[in-house]
Amino acid sequence: MSRRPLVAGNWKMFKTRGEALAFADGLKQGLGTSGDVEIAICPPFTSLDVLASAFAGSGVGVFGQNGHEDANGAHTGEISMEMLVDAGASGVLLGHSERRADNNETDQALARKVPAALAAGLTPVLCIGESEFERDSGTTKAVLDRQVLEGLSGVAIGDFAKVVVAYEPIWAIGTGKSATPEIAQEAHRWIRDQLREICQDAADQIRILYGGSVKPENAAELLSQPDIDGALVGGAALEPDSLLAIAAAATS
């Protein structure tokens, strides 16, 4: 089963609109060198529409970093899935560990957000991953099971193939300490086996991205693992050249 790799750059809370446009110029100049890989940028909300316009026709997607499950309502500071679509987004990150920690985002909330994203036509990227304490105490697989099963509990059986899962061990995020290819592959295989329990053969179509200190230097080895279908990149996605190098590694 071949899955088209996806390399997504999560900008977190970085870049003004002017900086985002300068990045888009640089990325577009290097496109075409990276082979058959889907590239998406997840900027702060303020840059969604300018980036969507800058990337129009280039094949590069623009994803939100969060979305609310309601179409609209009294939720100060929130943005709905429909608003993301209106701003030009084609996907959305959901449940990033920084949001789980900073904004108390729960598996129950994610169980509502994932179907809302699908209903709006967005590709949901459900982010999961264990902490260092959980890994050291031997509960990694239980944590991943809970995050996958609860986070995807609202997805209709026919929609599973559209879902993307990002495995981001918290201890590898922003630390420079990436998971080894063996550790990452073992977790990805485990996640796909759990997905098979809930959606049968569609599990082979679901792309599972690895995230956590992915750089041009370690991308090829990570992305050559059989169950790693792309990367969710933080720091190394802030410069066009390093993101392009990672995208090229995804197809090599």
Binding site residues, ligand 13P, CB under 6 A:
10, 96, 168, 173-174, 211-214, 232-236
Catalytic-role residue among 96, 98, 130, 188: 96
By beta-carbon proximity to ligand 13P, the closer residue of 7 and 202 is 7
Taking the complex as a whole, the smallest distance from the CB of residue 201 to ligand 13P amounts, in Å, to: 28
The residue type at 31: L
DSSP letters along 2-66, please?
----EEEEE--S---HHHHHHHHHHHHHHTTSS-S-EEEEE--GGGHHHHHHHTTTTS-EEEES-
Taking the complex as a whole, the smallest distance from the CB of residue 99 to ligand 13P amounts, in Å, to: 10
Going through the chain in order, the beta strands assigned E by DSSP cover 6-10, 38-42, 61-64, 91-94, 123-128, 164-167, 207-211, 230-233
Neighbour tally for 149: CB within 10 Å = 15
Quick one: which of 179, 174, 175 has its CA closest to 190?
179
By beta-carbon proximity to ligand 13P, the closer residue of 32 and 174 is 174
Taking the complex as a whole, the smallest distance from the CB of residue 1 to ligand 13P amounts, in Å, to: 25
Q: Catalytic annotation on 19?
A: no
Q: Catalytic annotation on 68?
A: no
Taking the complex as a whole, the smallest distance from the CB of residue 110 to ligand 13P amounts, in Å, to: 15
CA angle centred on 74, ends 70 and 80, rounded to 5°:
35
By beta-carbon proximity to ligand 13P, the closer residue of 39 and 199 is 39
By beta-carbon proximity to ligand 13P, the closer residue of 191 and 236 is 236
Assess contact for 61 and 90: CB atoms under 8 A: yes
Residue with the shortest CB distance to ligand 13P: 234
Taking the complex as a whole, the smallest distance from the CB of residue 226 to ligand 13P amounts, in Å, to: 22
Assess contact for 155 and 149: CB atoms under 8 A: no
By beta-carbon proximity to ligand 13P, the closer residue of 83 and 172 is 172
User: Active-site residue numbers?
Assistant: 96, 168
